[in-house]
Amino acid sequence: MEKNIEEILEVLKAKAVVLSEMLKERLAGYSDINNASGDHVLKIDMKADLLFGEALKTLKCVKGYVSEEQPNFVDVNKDASLIVTFDPLDGSSLVDSNLSIGSIFGIYEGGLKGENLVTALYFIYGPRLELVVAKKEAKHYVYVDKEWKFIQDFKMESKGKLNSPGGTQKYWDKKHKELIDSFFARGYRLRYSGGMVADLHQILCKKGGIFSYPATSDAKSGKLRILFEVFPFAFIYEKAGGEASDGKKRLLDIEVPSLHASTPCFFGSKVEMKEVSDVYR
Ligand code: AHG
Ligand code: MN
Ligand code: MN
Determine if ligand 1 sits within 6 Å of the CB of residue 171.
no
CA angle 127, 237, 94 (to 5 degrees): 35
The helix (run of H) or strand (run of E) holding residue 277 is helix 270-280
CA gap 184, 162 in Å, rounded: 9
CA angle 34, 35, 39 (to 5 degrees): 70
User: Considering the chain, what is the average pLDDT of its residues?
Assistant: 95
Domains and CATH numbers, the chain: 2-153 (3.30.540.10), 162-280 (3.40.190.80)
Which ranges of 146-226 does DSSP label H, i.e. alpha helix?
174-185, 196-205
Mutate to test the pocket of ligand 1, among 229, 233, 260, 267 (most ligand atoms within 8 A of CB): 229
Q: How far is the CA of 92 from the centre of ligand 3 (A)?
A: 6
Q: What is the pLDDT of residue 29?
A: 61
- Measured from the Cα of 168, ligand 1's closest atom is 19
Q: pLDDT (tens digit, 9 = 90+) per residue, 176-204?
A: 999 999 999 999 999 999 999 999 999 99
Question: How confident is the model over 111-115, as a mean pLDDT?
Answer: 97
Determine if ligand 1 sits within 6 Å of the CB of residue 101.
no
Q: Beta strand pairing status for 189-190 and 162-165? A: parallel
Q: pLDDT (tens digit, 9 = 90+) per residue, 45-102?
A: 999 999 999 999 999 999 999 999 999 999 999 999 999 999 999 998 899 899 999 9
- Quick one: which of 228, 217, 220 has its CA closest to 258? 228
The answer to whether residues 85 and 65 touch, using CB atoms and an 8 Å cutoff, is: yes
Q: Whose CA is nearest to atom 15 of ligand 1?
A: 194
Q: What is the pLDDT of residue 25?
A: 85
Q: Whose CA is nearest to atom 11 of ligand 1?
A: 196
CA gap 100, 151 in Å, rounded: 19
CA gap 102, 255 in Å, rounded: 25
DSSP state of 38: S
Q: What is the pTM of this model?
A: 0.96
Mutate to test the pocket of ligand 1, among 196, 203, 211, 213 (most ligand atoms within 8 A of CB): 196
Q: Whose CA is nearest to atom 17 of ligand 1?
A: 194
Q: pLDDT (tens digit, 9 = 90+) per residue, 131-171?
A: 999 999 999 999 999 999 999 999 999 999 999 999 999 99
Residue type, 78: K
Question: How confident is the model over 116-141, as a mean pLDDT?
Answer: 98
